[in-house]
Amino acid sequence: MTINGKFPGPMIRAKAGDTIHVELTNKLHTEGVVIHWHGIRQFGTPWADGTASISQCAINAGETFIYRFKVDKAGTYFYHGHYGMQRSAGLYGSLIVDVAGGEKEPFHYDGEFNLLLSDWWHQSAHEQEIGLSSIPFRWIGEPQTLLMNGRGQYNCSLAAPFSSNYSSLGKCTLRGGEQCAPHILHALPNKTYRLRIASTTALASLNLAIGNHKMVVVEADGNYLQPFEVEDLDIYSGESYSVLVRTNQDPTQNYWVSIGVRGREPKTPQGLTLLNYLPNSASKLPLTAPPVTPKWDDYDHSKSFSNKILALMGSPKPPANYDHRIMLLNTQNRINGYTKWAINNVSLVLPFTPYLGSIKYGLKHAFDNNPPPENFSSNYDVMKPPINPNSTHGNAVYMLNLSSTTDVILQNANALSDNVSEIHPWHLHGHDFWVLGYGEGKFRDGHDEKKFNLKNPPLRNTAVIFPYGWTALRFVTDNPGVWAFHCHIEPHLHMGMGVVFAEGVHRVGNIPNQALACGLTGKKFMKKN
Ligand SMILES: O=C1O[C@H]([C@@H](O)CO)C(O)=C1O
């Protein structure tokens, strides 16, 4: 899927405080579409969040929807489809917000590069969707190619001469000008570059490294970090980083930039591009092989990276206590033979009427009004496959009081097979949260919160749960609207791995009619007219 004939879609670049106005015309003849502005909190414009069945009705073929919203915070963001598997089909692009005029970033750089990372399958998103909702279940499998700015190669490797792994593929013979040719980073020696990195993968967790160069991490998800230096960085779907790279290596050489799969047994060759030191030719191959991606299941490496991420000194601190705590157990389940993911034993199936309208107008039949479970059984064994794998469908909403401090403890568990627990990056709409901590095994109430970092936890919109572990998040419900909170692995959301939060919906102003033109809100307004 392309936008204005482009894949990825065009980069949108604005300044903090700007209003972005996008007119999205759906020219997909046979399906609806929406676009989510990932990381933008949509204060006062919850109908512009771009989540089908949550913030708006999907835009029908031939129709145009106007997204108009303010970008209040500088940072590295992206946008993407939020309906079915349209992200896997390529519906995404970069969204960069620069600091407001007269303002400065808290670090210096001479130039910048942007890398939007994604993964690519030869199977269409429709086949993927059907496989996920079939008996027997057909998993999408690992991607064929990893992409940087939509570019990657199949059945050949840029690095074949260096590596026995990839020599079997043969060397890519690029003459220049091919659409699959990598996006080369052309740099001058002895400068500092800001590399913006965002991951909109449908599945893959990635590790990025630059041969011979260290990176200083300074931003995550549009929030400044206490700078720290690394040789490689893990990035999960839904996350973004800025790193500073000093081009202080031998200026007669070029250097590899590599991305490789983490957290799942990789079946996809590394994605590669070059850091080209000018005036060298970009066709000059580096002297050494591309950086090796850490072993896919070396979770200690991933945890050590996550634990280094702390807020820049002077950043907003979390409230010291919570008003409301929700425990969310993540399990893989079955419903009538279908493979699903469930949260506290409920697998999310979105309603036909978007919540924002049904809650605002009190249309009680639009979804299950019983509160969803805020906890799970204290004797659930997270280290074993579920004893009773059957779960239920649901579409109930966590109704949160406005201006309250909410803690969410995400609890990972064993999947359906023995000795399998997967990585899940959870993304919250409408807010940033503080990541208070990560832990192993089952969260111990009354004990583990003593280890929370309340001094300098990073603010983010996406945080990972490690296999068999828990992650603690805190946020303030300061944004009237209805907000998705879900695993950012697209097939996992499709299989039900998400929940919905609503706060202060009575305060939401005029929702554009078009966002309501389906389901029960559609009926209500059609009658009126
Ligand atoms: O949701 C998933 O399903 C498969 C596997 O668990 C069952 O085939 C997989 O690897 C997932 O992440």
User: Domain of 502: which CATH number?
Assistant: 2.60.40.420
Residue with tokens 């097939």: 491
Q: What is the mean pLDDT of the chain?
A: 97
Closest to 38 measured CA to CA, from 350, 498, 460: 460
> Rounded to 5, what percent of the chain is helix, strand, coil?
10, 35, 50
Closest to 305 measured CA to CA, from 207, 384, 451, 376: 207
- Cα of 274 vs centre of ligand 1, distance in Å, is 33
- Cα of 497 vs centre of ligand 1, distance in Å, is 12
300 shares a domain with 430: no
Q: Which two tokens stand for residue 338?
A: 């279908």
507 shares a domain with 387: yes
- DSSP bridge pairs for 392: 346
348 shares a domain with 455: yes
Q: What is the bridge-based pairing of β-strands 469-476 and 433-440?
A: antiparallel
330 shares a domain with 300: no
CA distance 110 to 396: 50
331 shares a domain with 275: no
- Closest Cα to atom 4, ligand 1: which residue? 139
223, part of any domain: yes
Total of domains in the chain: 3
> Last residue of a domain, which of 308, 333, 366?
308
140, part of any domain: yes
Looking at residue 528, its pLDDT comes to: 63
- Closest Cα to atom 7, ligand 1: which residue? 139
- Cα of 511 vs centre of ligand 1, distance in Å, is 38
> Last residue of a domain, which of 67, 98, 129?
98
* Domain limits for position 340: 324-526
Assign 93 to helix, strand or coil. Answer: strand
407, part of any domain: yes
243, part of any domain: yes
Summarised one tens digit per residue, pLDDT across range 256-293 is 999 999 999 999 999 999 999 999 999 999 999 999 99
- Cα of 484 vs centre of ligand 1, distance in Å, is 22
- Cα of 302 vs centre of ligand 1, distance in Å, is 21
- Closest Cα to atom 11, ligand 1: which residue? 139
CA distance 270 to 117: 12
247 shares a domain with 140: yes
- Closest Cα to atom 5, ligand 1: which residue? 139
Strand order in the sheet with 346-348: 392-394, 346-348, 338-343, 324-335, 405-411, 469-476, 433-440, 459-460
Phi, psi of 458 (to 5 degrees): -75, 145
231 shares a domain with 345: no
- Cα of 464 vs centre of ligand 1, distance in Å, is 17
For a pocket test of ligand 1, which of 133, 330, 422, 492 has the largest count of ligand atoms closer than 8 A to its C-beta? Answer: 422
pTM of this structure? 0.98
317, part of any domain: no
CA dihedral 278, 284, 288, 289 (to 10 degrees): 110
The total of other beta-carbon atoms located within 10 Å of residue 10's CB is 11
304 shares a domain with 214: yes
Residue with tokens 């993911």: 341
For a pocket test of ligand 1, which of 137, 332, 414 has the largest count of ligand atoms closer than 8 A to its C-beta? Answer: 332
Secondary structure tally for the chain: helices H, strands E: 6, 30
- Cα of 417 vs centre of ligand 1, distance in Å, is 9
Looking at residue 168, its pLDDT comes to: 77
**Which of the residues in the chain have pLDDT under 70?**
166-167, 528-529
The total of other beta-carbon atoms located within 10 Å of residue 507's CB is 13
- Closest Cα to atom 8, ligand 1: which residue? 139
CA distance 300 to 26: 44
194 shares a domain with 278: yes
- Closest Cα to atom 1, ligand 1: which residue? 492
The total of other beta-carbon atoms located within 10 Å of residue 447's CB is 9
Within 6 Å (CB) of ligand 1, which residues are found? Answer: 139, 415, 422, 492, 495
For a pocket test of ligand 1, which of 85, 138, 139 has the largest count of ligand atoms closer than 8 A to its C-beta? Answer: 139
CA 203 to ligand 1: nearest atom: 12
CA distance 31 to 76: 30
To which H or E segment does residue 526 belong? helix 519-528
CA 489 to ligand 1: nearest atom: 12
42, part of any domain: yes
152 shares a domain with 284: yes
Cα dist. 151→115, 120, 181, 486 in Å? 10, 10, 7, 28
103, part of any domain: no
26 shares a domain with 65: yes
- Closest Cα to atom 3, ligand 1: which residue? 139
> Last residue of a domain, which of 267, 283, 308?
308
Secondary structure (DSSP) of 126-143: HHHHHHHTSSS-----S-
- DSSP bridge pairs for 205: 262
Cα dist. 510→199, 262, 361, 402, 477 in Å? 33, 44, 11, 19, 20
436 shares a domain with 500: yes
Note whether 464 and 317 are within 8 A (CB).
no
- Cα of 522 vs centre of ligand 1, distance in Å, is 37
449, part of any domain: yes
CA 492 to ligand 1: nearest atom: 1
- Cα of 492 vs centre of ligand 1, distance in Å, is 9
Q: What is the bridge-based pairing of β-strands 19-25 and 64-70?
A: antiparallel
- Cα of 120 vs centre of ligand 1, distance in Å, is 17
- Cα of 271 vs centre of ligand 1, distance in Å, is 23
CA distance 62 to 495: 29
- Cα of 139 vs centre of ligand 1, distance in Å, is 6
